[in-house]
Chains A and B, each alone.
Chain A
Amino acid sequence: MSSAPITATTSPKKSLKPRDLINKGLAYLLLIVITFASLFPLLWMISSSLKERRDIFLNPPMWIPANPQWNNFTQLFTERAFGTVLYNSFFIAILHTVLALFFCTLAGYAFAKYTFKFQGILFGIVLASMMVPSETTIIPMFEIYRSFGLIDNPWGVIVANVASAFGIFFMRQYSAGIHTEMLEASRIDGCSEFRIFTSIVLPNLRPALASLGIITFVNQWNNFLWPLIVLRSPSEQTISLAIRTLESGARTPYELIMAGSVISIIPLLLIVLLFQKQLIGGLMDGAVKG
């Protein structure tokens, strides 16, 4: 009897605890399961890239290649010109990113820090241009490209969407945070407007440039539809296109396709590991401000 009051006073606290633990346990279980599901296809890609073709489809499955076929990778470079293809991918993605950063920052800064005639209408046009999905203009674009000689030309992929409305919008948000006094002071010191842009604005926007740069690079690296239309000959292909080309032929070389896929995601995995803060931070800022 004497123990009754004690249990009565402690039970509300204690009865919550096991339930809490179960809830937290379930939450962690959910997080771990979907994390595993997110990473598993990439692990299977790596595993398959080191197998012989017949070992990719086995019952029971071969989880870890018994006899790693590094040859799959060397074969891509010696027989399928993956060196050229990788060079093309880097060339296109890097130049596109640099130009995109330059044009988007120029315009975003102008919209944020100047007042000028027709500013509202002009910015309205920038926003409205987001409404036209690029997929709907591939046919006229193809003809325009042909007359400019941009078909089978890496510049055809580099210039497409290089001054994107998203990028301008993104840089406008960040430019708004630059102190106007700083700009005015350099004006009094006799800096030209472009000089102010290169020596004050760009250094101040470094974090935003990193975020937008990484987002742009990743998108361009993964771009598929437009390069598929523009880059016709094998020597001009990007890595995504080259992987797709491996598929044609009598027997699909799945082990080579997987090895090519692994090569194509290595730069992306490095970006995830090194720049996740800029990547995710940029997206989150964009979401809340937009």
Chain B
Amino acid sequence: MASKWWRWQQKSAPYLFISPFFVLFGIFLFYPFLYSFYLSMVQWNGGKTKTFVGMDNFKRVIQDDVFWLTIENGLIIMIIYVPLMLLLATLVAVLLNSNWVKGKGFFRMSLFTPNIMAVVAVAFVFSIMLNGDNGLINVILKQLGLIDVSILWLDSPVWARVSVAAMVFYRWMGYNMILILAGLQSIPKDIYESAYVDGATPFQVLIRITLPLLKKILVFCVILSTLGSFGLFTEPFVLTKGGPLNSTTTPVLLIYQESFTNLNFGYASAIAIMFFFLMMIFTFIQMRVTRDND
């Protein structure tokens, strides 16, 4: 009896250990994912009745200018901050990886701090600093004589995107710096030593050795930033409410507004599915492009 139980618990242990994941995965991810395909084909205001409408929701999404604007917004916000952020993150990581910089722990910690501060709290302090006439940023720029008229940081389509991008930059620079630093530290030291023995300059070492070896992690950073930009929610939700004129509405914010504000749950589901496939395509393209470069 005991030995039978003994063999059973030994054989079934790994399955029992992984079962919580699969139960939760089934209920809270796989089933909802499949179910969202059904929801995308109904008209539903959140009440009892769902009316099947076939592909109508998708036809509407494809013709919906606001949907494509959200994709455009994601791209523009990405272009504003990603290259600059990764450049600065790489530069700082290289500095913090060199042996002569003092106080590395302090710099690393301070630069990483914005990433773990509550998004809502950071968004509100940004909204106060960027606010109207006497927000801190406008006041400082005026005192420095750089501008005469206040910049409408949150109320003009162009600057609102810059403001959202600036906040994303602020929150994620340190995180990317840490990832890149991890990449740098995994490069064996003797590669550098032999390069310097062969007479390479520090700049050549950076271009020829460090950056190529960092490529994997930089690609990872770019993919994370892409998904992050289109998936932005809290930043525009608090800072700009997606405005002005939807210039900072992201796909996720649109899904939220269409469902929980406008009660078009079916239509919002169709947007969510379009969004999902677009994200898959973006990730796939980025992985392909970087592979072909090799």
Stretch at the interface among B19-27, B61-69, B76-84, B155-163: B19-27
Determine whether the beta carbon of B15 is less than 8 Å from that of A258. Answer: no
Contact among B17, B128, B233 with A48 in the assembled complex (CB-CB below 8 Å): B128
Q: What class of interface size applies to chain A in its complex with B?
A: 35 or more
- Please, what's the 1-or-0 string for A130-174, where 1 marks a CB less than 8 Å from any CB in chain B? 011111111111111000000000000001111100001000000
B185 at the A interface (CB under 8 A): yes
Residue of A nearest to B102 (CB): A28
Q: B186 interface residue, CB < 8 Å from A?
A: yes
- Asked if A133 and B231 make an inter-chain contact with CB atoms under 8 angstroms apart, the answer reads yes
Say yes or no: A261 contacts B20, CB within 8 Å: no
Stretch from B111-119, B191-199, B204-212 at the A interface: B111-119
A-chain residues with CB within 8 Å of residue B120 when the two chains form the complex: 222, 224, 240, 243-244, 261, 264
A38 touches B110 (CB 8 A): yes
Per-residue CB proximity of B2-25 to A under 8 Å, as 1/0? 000010011001110110111011
Partner of B136, one of A61, A111, A125, A283: A61
Please indicate which of the listed interface residues B124, B140, B179 has the most CB atoms of chain A within 10 Å of its own CB: B124
Tell me the residues in window 234-290 of chain A with beta carbons closer than 8 Å to chain B beta carbons: 239-240, 243-244, 254, 257-258, 260-262, 264-265, 268-269, 271-272, 276, 279-280, 283-285, 287-288, 290
Given A27-B101, A224-B234; A133-B125 close (CB under 8 Å): no
Within 8 Å of chain B (Cβ to Cβ): is A45?
yes
Contact status B143-A60, CB under 8 Å: yes
Chain B residue with the shortest CB-CB distance to A214: B116
By the criterion CB–CB under 8 Å, are B116 and A279 in contact? yes
| A210 interface residue (CB < 8 Å to B) | no
The stretch among A7-15, A64-72, A75-83, A191-199 that forms the contact with chain B is A191-199
A214 to chain B, nearest CB (A): 9
Supposing A136-B275, A284-B178 touch, asked if A261 and B125 sit within 8 A by C-beta, the answer is yes
B27 to chain A, nearest CB (A): 7
| A106 interface contact, C-beta 8 A | yes
A176 CB–B CB distance under 8 Å: no
Residues on A with beta carbons closer than 8 Å to the beta carbon of B112: 272, 276, 279-280
Q: Residue B122 at the A interface, CB < 8 A?
A: yes
Q: When the two chains form their complex, are residues B36 and A272 in contact, meaning their CB atoms are under 8 A apart? A: no
User: CA–CA, A44 to B133, complex, Å?
Assistant: 17
* Chain B neighbourhood of A285, CB < 8 A: 182
A-B CB contacts (within 8 Å), total count: 258
Tell me the interface secondary structure of chain B in the complex. Answer: helix
Contact call A194/B121, Cβ cutoff below 8 A: no
Beta-carbon contacts under 8 Å, B132-168 to A: 132-136, 139-140, 142-143
Q: Does A229 contact B (CB under 8 A)?
A: yes
A202 contacts the other chain (CB 8 A): no
Residue contact A268 to B256, C-beta cutoff 8 Å: no
A136 partner, pick from B30, B36, B95, B174, beta carbons under 8 A: B36
8 Å CB interface, A17-68 against B: 24, 27-28, 30-31, 34-35, 37-39, 41-42, 44-45, 48, 56-61
Given contacts A125-B25, A168-B21, A284-B181, contact A140 B129 (CB under 8 A): no
B260 at the interface (CB under 8 A from A): yes
Q: Does B41 lie at the interface of the complex (its beta carbon under 8 Å from any beta carbon of A)?
A: no
Complex-state Cα separation, A284 to B20, whole angstroms = 27
Q: Is the CB of B182 within 8 A of A140?
A: no
Docked-complex contact B272 and A138, CB < 8 angstroms: yes
Q: A35-B107, A41-B126, A136-B272 are in contact. Are A218 and B179 (CB under 8 A)?
A: no
Cβ B28 vs Cβ A30 within 8 A:
no
Which of B125, B132, B256 interacts with A41 by CB under 8 Å?
B125
Q: How far is the CB of A137 from chain B (nearest CB, A)?
A: 4
Cβ of A205 under 8 Å from chain B: no
Q: Residue-by-residue, is B94-108 near A (CB-CB < 8 Å gives 1, otherwise 0)?
A: 011000110001111
* Cα of A257 to Cα of B129 in the assembled complex, Å: 13
B14 & A110 in contact (Cβ 8 Å cutoff)? yes
Known: A136-B36, A144-B32, A258-B128. 8 other contacts (CB 8 A): A103-B24, A136-B255, A138-B256, A140-B32, A163-B25, A261-B120, A265-B121, A284-B179
A→B interface (CB under 8 Å): 24, 27-28, 30-31, 34-35, 37-39, 41-42, 44-45, 48, 56-61, 103-104, 106-107, 109-111, 114, 116, 119, 122, 125-126, 129, 131-144, 159-163, 168, 187, 192-194, 197, 218, 221-222, 224-225, 229, 239-240, 243-244, 254, 257-258, 260-262, 264-265, 268-269, 271-272, 276, 279-280, 283-285, 287-288, 290
